[in-house]
Every structure is written in C-alpha cells, then in structure tokens.
C-alpha cells in the first residue's frame, strides 16, 4: 500500500461515511461507529498505541468510537472475537493459528509487534546462559505453550513445567528459579526490588511469532471499512506513542490500571524502542503493522514440525494482507 497516512485517513473516512457498515453496526448516522478492542492483559505500555489513538482522537478522526476492554488471566480474546462479543482482540500469531485449527473463524489483519517480548527470566548469577543449558530445568510458564515444544525439539532438551501464577514471589525467593516474562515488564519490578535479572529472549532461539490484531471472518467480511480504519488509526497511534508526546495516553493507562506508574511505563517504552519490538528493523522491510507472508508460513511449518498442527491451514484462512498500514513516513 503506497497511500500515506494523511491520504489513507481521508479514504477511510469517506468509506465510513458511505454507510456500508452503518446498517449492521449500532450507532446513529453521522456519529462515530462504536468498536471494542479486547486486550490480552491489564492496561500497560504494551497497549500504549491504542490508548494513544483514543487520547489524541485518531480513532474518532477515522470515524470510530473505540472502547478498550482490559484483559487479564481470563481475557479469552479468541473466543470473544469468534462469538462476536468484541470486534478486535490482540494476541500472538501462533495462538491465533492454533485457534483457527480448532475451528474458530479468526483472521489476523495487522501486526501489533514485529517481535515477541516473551522471554525467560533468570537471576543474573544463574549459571544458565543459553537455551541448551535449560535441559532438565524447572520453568514456570503456561502449560502447553508452543514455544516450549519448539525449544525442546530444536535443542533436544526437556523442561519441567510448573503452571504460571503471574507473580514474582517464587522468583524473588529462589536464585535458581526460572519463569517466563516480557522483557518490557518483569525485569523492571525485579530491579526495583534489588535483584539484578537477565533474560533469554525466545525469539533469539528462532521462535518469533508476531503479536497481532485479529478479528472474525464475519466481521471482516461485513465491515472491511471499519477494519481498515481501525488498523490505520492504531498504527498511527503506535508510532506517536513510541516517538512523540504520549502523556495523555499514559494518563489513560494509569486511569485504567492504578498499578502502573510513569517510571514503569517509560521503562517499557524504552525497551520497546531499543529492541524495536513494535517497529521492527527497517533494513529487513519491517515497520509498524507489517505482516510478511513468508514469516507466517515459517510459523505454520514450525508448529507442524513439533506436532502442534495436524492439518496446517492455508495462509489465507487465518491472515489477510489487504488492510496493512503504510510504512511511516519517517521510516522510508
């Protein structure tokens, strides 16, 4: 797509004003169309671009009235999208692919992050410093996680998995404890409590799903203009949140989640920028929102190779490339 952000915004608004979704979606003629986004966790910097688009009116300028519904341990974004309880949700591309295999009519429409912040959290003095050295170690994570199967197969190791409890108490008390984390999140709290951590980023092992925005096949078919508007405004929101003035977005995050403080949000933003999690590597053709068919095909193969995909679906069944945002002007 070669249209710039300003031009794209005009096209989107004209499409919405044409009313091709107005008869099916609630709302009065001439008013912004109400849309819900289900996040995967409580409000945090990793959702900052969406809050930026709300706070600065980017969604409203695109003809949308977006509500952000916070997630948590029981967010169930895939189920909520599939059953029409929410128009959009966010998650990992491998989780969406596995849900599609199970029969859920989902479709990825944009990347949220080019690279996954998922990592393993260890104490700095833990002798484990590479993935092969994890053999026989106990790791607290989500049982059945695809990346566990991938690591075990690639490095010919075996991990002892204990269910994730979403806390840090065991890690803080045991210098040999290992658990999953986001590099944008848990290391901040560990350092704040006087312990120096280190991380093993899962993507560095070769397992690198996108974090994505997805909707249902039905919503995409019936409201393509809304999908285009939402993806475009979200991409602009992410660009501005990471590179521009973001105080209004941070205030909304803190209003939704009083456990957030400004220093924590700033830490997460710094890590997202330094690791290019959202924007990716321009030299590799990556930018905010970009999806590459070859990367998704490689993910299908990786999941099939470890026995998690019985009948790999065709790419077009779970991903659409028709709504991707343009490359930001300052990254060309």
> Does pTM top 0.85 for this prediction?
yes
Complete domains list, the chain, with CATH: 5-115+209-331 (3.40.190.10), 118-205 (3.40.190.10)
Q: What is the mean pLDDT of residues 165-177?
A: 96
Q: Is the dihedral of CA 95, 99, 102, 108 positive or negative?
A: negative
216, β-bridge pairs? 106
- Inform me whether the pLDDT recorded for 3 exceeds 60: no
CA distance 198 to 179: 11
For the chain, give me the number of helices (H) and strands (E)? 14, 10
Strand, helix or coil at 145? Answer: coil
Q: pLDDT grade, residue 200 (50/70/90)? A: very high
Q: pLDDT grade, residue 26 (50/70/90)? A: low
CA distance 262 to 332: 31
139, β-bridge pairs? 161
CB-CB neighbours of 103 under 10 Å: 8
Q: What angle do CA 248, 249, 252 make, to 5 degrees?
A: 90
Q: pLDDT grade, residue 39 (50/70/90)? A: very high
pLDDT of residue 232: 98
In this predicted model, what pLDDT tens digit does every residue of 223-247 receive, in sequence order?
999 999 999 999 999 999 999 999 9
CA distance 87 to 222: 11
User: What spatial distance separates the first Cα and last Cα of the chain, rounded to whole Å?
Assistant: 13
Helix residue spans in the chain (DSSP H): 5-17, 48-55, 58-61, 77-82, 93-101, 146-155, 169-173, 186-192, 217-222, 224-243, 247-256, 262-274, 293-305, 315-318
The share of the chain scoring above pLDDT 90, in percent, equals 86
- Inform me whether the pLDDT recorded for 179 exceeds 60: yes
The share of the chain scoring above pLDDT 70, in percent, equals 91
In this predicted model, what pLDDT tens digit does every residue of 120-135 receive, in sequence order?
999 999 999 999 999 9
CA distance 197 to 264: 16
């Amino acid at each position: 797509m070669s249209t710039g952000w300003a031009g794209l915004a005009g096209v989107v608004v004209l499409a919405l004003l044409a009313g091709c979704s107005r008869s099916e979606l609630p709302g009065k003629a001439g008013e912004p169309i109400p849309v819900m986004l289900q996040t995967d966790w409580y409000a945090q910097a990793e959702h900052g671009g969406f809050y930026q688009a709300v706070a600065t009116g980017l969604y409203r300028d695109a003809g949308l009235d977006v509500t952000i519904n916070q997630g948590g341990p029981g967010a169930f974004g895939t189920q909520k999208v599939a059953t029409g309880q929410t128009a959009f949700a966010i998650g990992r591309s491998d989780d969406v692919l596995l849900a599609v295999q199970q029969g859920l009519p989902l479709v990825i429409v944009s990347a949220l992050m080019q690279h996954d912040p998922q990592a393993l959290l260890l104490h700095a003095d833990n002798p484990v410093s590479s993935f092969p050295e994890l053999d026989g170690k106990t790791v607290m994570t989500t049982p059945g996680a695809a990346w566990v199967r991938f690591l075990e197969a690639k490095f010919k190791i075996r991990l002892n998995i204990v269910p994730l409890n979403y806390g840090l108490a065991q890690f803080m008390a045991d210098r040999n404890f290992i658990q999953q984390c986001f590099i944008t999140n848990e290391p901040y709290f560990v350092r704040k409590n006087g312990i120096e951590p280190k991380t093993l980023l899962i993507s560095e092992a070769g397992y690198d799903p996108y974090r994505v925005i997805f909707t249902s096949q039905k919503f995409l078919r019936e409201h393509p203009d809304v999908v285009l508007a939402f993806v475009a405004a979200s991409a602009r929101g992410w660009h501005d949140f990471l590179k521009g003035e973001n105080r209004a977005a941070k205030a909304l995050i803190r209003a939704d989640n009083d456990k957030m403080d400004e220093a924590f949000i700033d830490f997460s933003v710094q890590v997202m920028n330094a690791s290019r999690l959202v924007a990716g590597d321009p030299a590799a053709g990556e930018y905010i929102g970009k999806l590459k068919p070859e990367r998704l095909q490689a993910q299908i193969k990786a999941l099939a190779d470890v026995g998690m995909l019985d009948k790999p679906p065709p790419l077009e069944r779970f991903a659409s490339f028709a709504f991707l945002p343009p490359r930001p002007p300052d990254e060309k």
